[in-house]
Structure 1
Amino acid sequence: MTNTGLQQNTAGNKFRWIAVIFMVYLLLVAVGMIGSGFKWASGGAEGARQLFAFATNPVMGLVIGAFATALVQSSSTVTSVIVGLVAGGLPVPTAIPMIMGANIGTTVTNTLVSMGHIGKKKEFRRAFSAATVHDFFNLLAVTIFLPLEVFTGFLSNISANLTGFFVSDTSLSIKGLNFIKPLTKPVVGVFKDLYTTLPDIWGGVALALTGLALIFISIIMLGKLLKVLMVGRAKQILHRAIGHGPMTGITSGTLMTIAVQSSSTSTSLIVPLAGNGLFKLKEIYPFTLGANIGTCITALLAATAVEGSMADHALQIALVHLTFNISATILIYGIPFLRNIPLRTARRFAQLASRHKWVVFAYVIGLFFVLPTVLITLTA
């Protein structure tokens, strides 16, 4: 590459990093808008509780999170929206199953990526097992931790205690991150003033919908920018880290997902590599667990945009996401019997799918779309 080409590439990367910073700022503004708009439209925390009374059934909350994530193909988007809703008054216990559901919904992306190998039986079997091991791990995690949460409040209690380390009792603002709200408040205020001309609750609805649109824009653009900046390096990390033990695999999955801000991207990168036989399923498995942990950074980042009486709740639901994924990794991967369930299920299911291709389409449509619709109908 010539000196001129290098200079252009360097200038281009600088512009992209500036754009990344702006998109992070836009994400923080968007979360603040959703929280303010939801609070305005619902008439405060009590109104928010009544509005989401239908979702107090844990199964309904789980289905909403999974269905929404499967539709938008981004757990980062859905968890950021949930943080905004909690900031607006959505109760944390209602939001917890939604967060779990987002973990299930995000796995549809790498499952779809594996279908790119469907024309070659051996490649497809390897790729499909690498994709679905993530699915089955997350399904097992929810099967264990949702009942545990319902009966003991495990995640609620741990996240509440962790929140106490970061949120001041007096000001209820996140310690050390008080600069976030002053940076975002003026922009949120401009939109809020703009919508005050709308009648009744419609101003709040418009503000929340604008925030929702900005979250989509910021997450999509952030993903594209970071993919250009980081994916080449991410592939190098993959080749160096995967296959050097489970802890290295989990760490590399976490770091890569933080870098590209998308567990869908990081896990989808390894599916073709598995299909081509470069990595074994046992080597890829820990990496996907790290991706679960790494994707929690977006919700934690979103929580820094919240200040006031709901700051502790917003941070708590973000910490629920982190606690859930770390706890599931420690428990399931730490116990050999549980660790082998996703592996064996993924292998056997991939063998079936490689022989009968219709199983693949039935699985994706049934698990991520038909089943949630049926459960919503039955529990409504």
Structure 2
Amino acid sequence: MNVEAVQALGGLGLFLVGMHMLTEGLRGLAGDRLRRILRRSTETPFKGATAGALTTAMVQSSSATTVATVGFVAAGLMTFQQALGIIFGANIGTTITGWLVAIVGFKLDLGLALMPFVLIGALLHLLAPNPWKYLGWALAGFGVLFIGIDALKDGMGAFGSLITPEVFPADTFLGRLKLVALGMVLTIVTQSSSAGVASALAALSVGAITLPQAAALVIGMDVGTTFTALVATIGGGTATRRTGLSHVIYNLLTGCMAFALLYPVGWLAQSGWGLAIDPQMALVGFHSFFNFIGVVAVLGVTPQFARLIIWLVPDRGTSMTRDLGRQPLTDPAAALDAVNAAAQRIVAALLHELGRGLNRPAADIRDETLEEIGSATRHARDYVEAISTEQGSAELQNQMALLHLFDHLDRLRHRAMQGDRIAAAVEDASLLDRGLKLGALMRGYDATADIAHFAAQADMLRRDFRDFRRRHRGEQIMLVASHGKEPQNLSLLLDSARWLQRSAYHLWRIADLLREIEGKEPGLATQEQLLDEETD
């Protein structure tokens, strides 16, 4: 009996490993297609739910769908209300695994037949280039998954005479609650509702549990998946916490509805009608049915549901980086979407504040605002450094551009603290025109819809300021030498002219890097242009 127990546990382990390999391989094959499908599906909650179900079924992972969606919300590419449809639909997509296991895994003994696929897949993963590498990983995972199912079936078969429905809690209200709790524990331990469903199907196939008992376990497993969402919200951004809470509340409500359906399921199992129904097919059908009904019920009240979640999880911290939670870090593309949006908010805040000081009449630049911008910049930089990207990938290029961007932001913020030079730039007649031009361009950032055009304007200003500074220096020294100007303010005027040139340079680099990030193509700045500028 000990051998069979070990075999059952090993089969469950192989199933988990196979699911992980299959998910990673399919996710790699899907690539940006998954993200494009999700982004195009937010017109209505129904379209979002359909896309969520399809993409989850495609990659066999609701986590991949949810993380990508959180990244879109954090990046401002879709609203939280639009994202809810995708999150709801992902629950339907996860039930596909149950159908695959019930129809193929328990009706056919494929473990031995698929062993060569494991070898072929492993060789492809080790030796072939992308996308064949991902295909090989998915193929190997598919084989390992069914080898695990065969081991799980054989191991559970030995328990058929020892573990009977009578061993489990009685088919009463309290007994069903206990089974739901057991299902939750199994999912929390294995971190996979699919593994739990496979175990329930295996137990059902050998008569260890009845259909109503298995159905109660599956309800608990569905609710148990919310534990991962709850853990992911710890230390997460606003978008992450709202997504996690919406997942928890939705699954709890769906679980309550499914619990009420246990009564007709029990009646059907005990009646003559139930004899003609395959218990395993009935179980996965019940799993899909209550998830489908839950989605249909909530789609009609999605706006109200979204308002409830937003009320329960209000914004916290600085608005510039509130969406930089830890969950999107598991998906580099989603994490970069989130931090790109945060970078644009930080740029807008700094340029607005500095533009206020370069104006007539000039407004005082607020130290507390600059401190908040500095804190947000440090947070965003740390977040970017925590993202894991592959060598030579577009994500790595985006990551490097962001790090350069935050460096220029910090330097420009430091210049925003130099109040005497800013004041001279809009008070001295020799600098006034260019100081006002720089301020007007900075204040116009909020209204710009074309970052490439804005970067071109900043480049023109930078070039003009560079040539002007060279002329201005000679002119001011000549005026002092000819006694046409008092020498007391010469140093401040020269420093202020240099301040204008360097600030225009940082503005240009920031705008050009934003253009690179937005267009996913190299920046326009050449090495010659960068060397042409003096260093700080």
**Is the radius of gyration larger for structure 1 or structure 2?**
2
The alignment's TM-score, normalised by the length of structure 2, stands at 0.32
